[in-house]
Amino acid sequence: RVPQRFRQLAECGMAAAIAPATEAPDEVLLKIFSYLDGKTLFVHVSRVSQRWRALVVETPFVKLNLSLFTKLIPPTYLRPTLVPGVGGNRFALSNPAPAAAAVDAFLKRASAFKHIASVVHDSLDARSGERVVVADSLVLGLAARSPNLTELHAAGLSDASARQLATHCPKLQRISLASRDLTNGTVAALAVGCPKLTQVQMNGCDLLTDRAVEDFCAQLPNLVSVDFGWNRRLTNASVLSVATHCPRLTVVNFKHCRAVSDEGVLALAQNCPSLEVVDFHGAAELTDGSTVVLFERCPRLKSVCVSSVSRMTDKSLNALASHCPNLEVIEANMCSGLTDAGVVTLAERCPKLKVVLLGYSSQLSDVAGVALGTHCPNLRKIDLTYAEDMTDQTVLAIARNCPMLEDIDLSFCQASDVGVVALAENCPQLTNVHISRLKVTDASVLALARHCPGLKTAGFLQCAELTDVGIIILSERCSQLTTFISNGCSKLTPRAFSALKRNCPHLRKF
């Protein structure tokens, strides 16, 4: 059918004035292409015609994903190599002389790189879940030919390659370098060569020390986001350096830096009042003495992670509830000092909560669970693992009031089919469900299959009453499943697992 507008134009004799998009001038198409994302350009637009494919390479796009960029390079230029790695095969672009020369030649021909502002390398493929490694030469080639580069995410770069970024990318503002090879010298070079840096992520860099963080922060007082998580050599001195030199901070992450103590957190509270995100997961030395002050002096906090901070009690939750009304994320797994009273106060005063992780908190009961379900309608994710006193009352409160819920873990609680069926019926957006060791039957599985077609993770550990019937129907209606956990489900037979393999092509863990 011809749209009404075009029929009117045809009647007026103006149809001839309308030219198809494929005939538009190059400069017009380039302008249009510049507003499209890399995936649309590389995967779809480039297939329209040879002319459009040539224009895609010349498009002044500003953001590039390396995993998509490789699709533009002719296959003969790249030699994929399978390398055994943790969690599956690691796909690396091999780097012998012919392949490297071909990539370099391609980079020189693509004049559009002068417009690139962002280069992103996804180290984990979203579809296959496998690690993806891109050769350093490709990352450096892009950096060297992108003088306006302001953002770079490249996991796994060697120390020598990372140091060259300081020379090639003086305009960098955001950088993410998760590399075990990164040394203190390279971090110092980046601080000097990239003076405009405001956001830094350097987690898992095992060779970094407190001295490197001190020198880095001293050179970059305008930092607003720092992520030094998983750096086991860093101590409380690094937190003090960050707090002292970077008063504009909004994001601080020292996850699994176990030496962080009250002294560092108090310095952050005193010097960085604009904090919005803090992560001190695993900081076992922290107490209410510092966290209460932090929450009182940083009212803009939206995300707080204090999991495994075992000394924290309801005093901290009360301070958080009283002073941070915009809180959206609270991660407090394995905080044994929390009770129903603190959680109720938090739920009542922080209605914007979207993520609540309170797993392994043995003192919590339905009082806390019902409060969360009643007062936090925006919940997307909740973890109540090992809350052994929580029953269907909690699950029903969540089901009735949190329709946007996507992820829930009720493992080892006291819920049953009553709660899980209600949850499936009222929360159709569920993608991750863990109901391990609950007293559930096929009724729960069938409800999930019927109402939650987007389910990706199903955890049914030690659910002894589940049978092949429920699992087969689940596999047929939830074909996007990627993870299925059923250890201890004694009634399941190979027939159920065969159905999962047949009907769920993305399943990689079960």
Rounded distance between C-alpha atoms, residue 481 and residue 310, angstroms: 35
Give the pLDDT band (50/70/90) at residue 134: low
Segments of 238-331 assigned E as strands: 251-253, 277-279, 303-305, 329-331
The mean pLDDT value for 377-385 works out to: 97
- Residue 491 in this model has a pLDDT that exceeds 70: yes
Higher pLDDT residue, 374 or 61? 374
CB of 92 closer than 8 Å to CB of 81: yes
The mean pLDDT value for 424-439 works out to: 96
- What are 4-51's pLDDT values in tens digits? 554 554 555 544 444 566 678 887 887 787 777 666 776 678 778 878
Q: Which residues of 80-100 are buried (b: 16+ CB within 10 A; e: fewer)?
A: eeeeeeeeeebbbbeeeeebb
- Residue 255 in this model has a pLDDT that exceeds 50: yes
Which of 89-103, 348-362, 443-457, 476-490 is the least confident region? 89-103
The mean pLDDT value for 101-124 works out to: 51
Overall residue count recorded for the chain in this entry? 510
Rounded distance between C-alpha atoms, residue 320 and residue 298, angstroms: 9
Which of 98-107, 387-396, 485-494 is the least confident region? 98-107
- Residue 277 in this model has a pLDDT that exceeds 90: yes
- Residue 172 in this model has a pLDDT that exceeds 70: yes
Which of 51-65, 115-129, 145-159, 201-215 is the least confident region? 115-129
Give the pLDDT band (50/70/90) at residue 164: confident
- Which tokens is 331 given? 């991660």
Phi-psi domain of 83 (left: phi exceeds 0; alpha: psi -120 through 50; beta: other):
beta
The pLDDT of residue 111 is: 46
User: 184-193 vs 210-219: helix axis angle to the nearest 10?
Assistant: 0
- What are 71-91's pLDDT values in tens digits? 444 433 333 332 333 232 222
Which of 23-32, 51-60, 491-500 is the least confident region? 51-60
Query: Which residue type does 99 have?
Result: A
CB of 164 closer than 8 Å to CB of 142: no
The mean pLDDT value for 372-397 works out to: 96
CB of 136 closer than 8 Å to CB of 156: no
Rounded distance between C-alpha atoms, residue 161 and residue 179, angstroms: 11
- What are 442-460's pLDDT values in tens digits? 999 999 999 999 999 999 9
The pLDDT of residue 16 is: 47
- What are 283-305's pLDDT values in tens digits? 999 999 999 999 999 999 999 99
Task: Provide φ and ψ at 252, rounded to 5°.
Answer: -135, 125
Which of 143-147, 192-196, 387-391, 497-501 is the least confident region? 143-147
CB of 134 closer than 8 Å to CB of 158: no
The pLDDT of residue 105 is: 53
Rounded distance between C-alpha atoms, residue 406 and residue 382, angstroms: 9
The pLDDT of residue 92 is: 31
Which of 93-107, 180-194, 340-354, 472-486 is the least confident region? 93-107
Provide the mean pLDDT of the chain: 83
pTM higher than 0.85, yes or no? no
The mean pLDDT value for 476-489 works out to: 94
The pLDDT of residue 86 is: 29
Higher pLDDT residue, 234 or 22? 234
Strands 355-357 and 329-331: parallel
Give the pLDDT band (50/70/90) at residue 340: very high
- Residue 320 in this model has a pLDDT that exceeds 50: yes
The pLDDT of residue 270 is: 96
- Residue 126 in this model has a pLDDT that exceeds 50: no
The pLDDT of residue 13 is: 52
- Which tokens is 120 given? 């992103």
SS3 call for 400: helix
CB of 408 closer than 8 Å to CB of 432: yes
- Residue 485 in this model has a pLDDT that exceeds 90: yes
- Residue 93 in this model has a pLDDT that exceeds 60: no
The pLDDT of residue 206 is: 86
The pLDDT of residue 125 is: 43
